[in-house]
Amino acid sequence: MSDSLAAVTAPAVCAEDVRVTYRGRTVVDVPSITLASGQTYALLGASGAGKSTLLRVLGLLERPTRGRVLFDGSTVRTGDLVARRRIAAVFQKPYLLRGTVADNVAYGLRLRGISPAERAGRVAASLQRVGLAGWELRSALTLSGGEAQRVALARALVLEPSFLLLDEPLSYMDPLLKRSLSVEFAEILAGERITALYVTHDQDEAAVVADRIGVMREGRIVAEGDPDTVLGLPADPWHASFVDMEPSLPGRVTASVDGLAEIAVDGVSVYATTGFATGSDVLLAVRPEDVTLWESGVQMPAGSARNRLACVVEETLPRGGSVRVVVRSGGARFAASISRASAAELGVAPGSHLVASFKATAVRVRLLGG
């Protein structure tokens, strides 16, 4: 797809007052959601949160019980074939049709009455961009899960959609493939400059692909913003546990010089790079990956981390290759994610006294109630 064309046609997608009810049970209740033109919006949430239903509504695949969908400000409906043909989708399961890879990739083009000659060229180009150049004549039903999902992506991209739906496209992949494909998807989406809606329950995947993230819970969008804020500064305790953090901490800016603020948080001082003025009431949080733990009294390398807080370990939780450690300093609780080796070396256990360090730049801050 040529960038100029995509930039012109990628719609801003918006939904107003959307409610979906199945047998009296409300599964989606979203007063407003806006997907900026050409950007990738990730809907993040646990299974059953209503993400896929909202995707089907925004993608004109399902009529909501109430509310409307707008492309560039104009209302569009499920029966509107012209609007629907600006959209393409990749779902959790690729659902390839019987036949060859080329038959599958060409399917949407055939529906649109594109000539065989043009189809062949576009199919070849599309397969190339998903890394399957020359796979036209293979049987679609003998592909591995990862290959099939790439074909499904090619089948969507070949249509040159201006709005692309991706519903958990990587959830059936093994972790290795998932990592590489999520990066590839992100590159392709960024390159295409199409408006995209990416539904996932995996925050790492969302962080890689999205320009903007909405967190869904029980049919509602409970947090929305840029990935850094949504994944780094939880709005409430549920949001915190969903993104694997401790709840954000309330504090007050006690000093602020040249973009560096000192914030009093429940008996401790935390330094953060923020422009909020002295006296501002703020909410702050630190991602567990940004927190390092040290033995108390050990000589730390100079100059690296501005925040060094004496703390007590409250909980430890092994997580695959790492250990999640919750520490308390004064009244403030943070989580740290450290390697198993470090945990063993430090003798981390509930009650042990350590020092937690993190950079001022790692602290996410926003105005309380802002």
Partner 1 sequence: MHVYIQAIVDAFVLLFSGSGEVWPVVGLSLAVSGTATLIATAIGLPIGYFLGMSRFAGRGSLILLVNTAMGWPPVVVGLFVYMALSRTGPLGGLALLFTPQAMVIAQVILAAPLVAGVTTAAIGSVPRDLRLQLRALGASRLQEAFEVLKESRRGVMAAVIAGFGGIISEVGAVSIVGGNIQGSTRVMTTAIVFNVNRGEFGLAMAWGMVLLGIALVANAALTMLQQSGARYER
98 binds partner 1, rule: CB under 8 A: yes
260 binds partner 1, rule: CB under 8 A: no
Among 2, 47, 115, 142, binds partner 1 (CB under 8 A): 142
Question: Is 98 or 303 the residue whose CB approaches partner 1 more closely?
Answer: 98
Q: Which stretch binds partner 1 (CB under 8 A): 108-116, 207-215, 280-288, 349-357?
A: 108-116
Provide the CB-side half-sphere exposure for 260 (13 A, CA): 10
Question: Is 88 or 233 the residue whose CB approaches partner 1 more closely?
Answer: 88
Give the Cα separation of 66 and 93 in Å (integer): 28
Least CB distance to partner 1 at residue 29 (A): 22
Among 156, 293, 313, 346, binds partner 1 (CB under 8 A): 156
The beta strand positions in the chain, using DSSP E, are 13-22, 25-35, 40-45, 66-71, 74-76, 87-90, 163-167, 195-200, 212-217, 220-225, 249-257, 260-265, 268-273, 281-286, 292-295, 307-319, 322-329, 332-339, 353-358, 363-367
Least CB distance to partner 1 at residue 92 (A): 8
25 binds partner 1, rule: CB under 8 A: no
φ, ψ for residue 65, nearest 5 deg: -65, -35
Question: Is 10 or 207 the residue whose CB approaches partner 1 more closely?
Answer: 10
Least CB distance to partner 1 at residue 96 (A): 9
107 binds partner 1, rule: CB under 8 A: yes
Give the Cα separation of 202 and 199 in Å (integer): 9
Sequence-distant (6+) residues with CB within 8 A of 54 are 15, 18, 20, 28, 30, 33, 43, 216
Give the Cα separation of 196 and 53 in Å (integer): 16
Within 62-91, which residues bind partner 1 (CB under 8 A)?
Answer: 81, 84-85, 87-89, 91
Least CB distance to partner 1 at residue 273 (A): 44
Question: Is 155 or 212 the residue whose CB approaches partner 1 more closely?
Answer: 155
Structure tokens at 172: 């059936």
Question: Is 82 or 277 the residue whose CB approaches partner 1 more closely?
Answer: 82
Residue 349 host element (H or E): none
In the sheet that holds 74-76, the strands lie side by side as: 25-35, 13-22, 66-71, 74-76
Give the Cα separation of 259 and 261 in Å (integer): 6
What residues pair up with 271 in beta bridges, in sequence order?
A: 262
Q: Which stretch binds partner 1 (CB under 8 A): 154-162, 178-186, 333-341, 345-353?
A: 154-162
Structure tokens at 115: 């000539």
Among 8, 46, 77, 112, binds partner 1 (CB under 8 A): 112
61 binds partner 1, rule: CB under 8 A: yes
Question: Is 164 or 327 the residue whose CB approaches partner 1 more closely?
Answer: 164
Within 168-227, which residues bind partner 1 (CB under 8 A)?
Answer: none
**Cβ atoms of residues 2 and 10 within 8 Å:** no
Structure tokens at 368: 């309380």
Question: Is 109 or 338 the residue whose CB approaches partner 1 more closely?
Answer: 109
Structure tokens at 89: 């989708």
Which residues in this chain contact partner 1 in the complex, by CB under 8 A? 56, 59, 61, 81, 84-85, 87-89, 91-93, 95, 97-98, 107-108, 111-112, 139, 141-142, 155-156, 159, 165
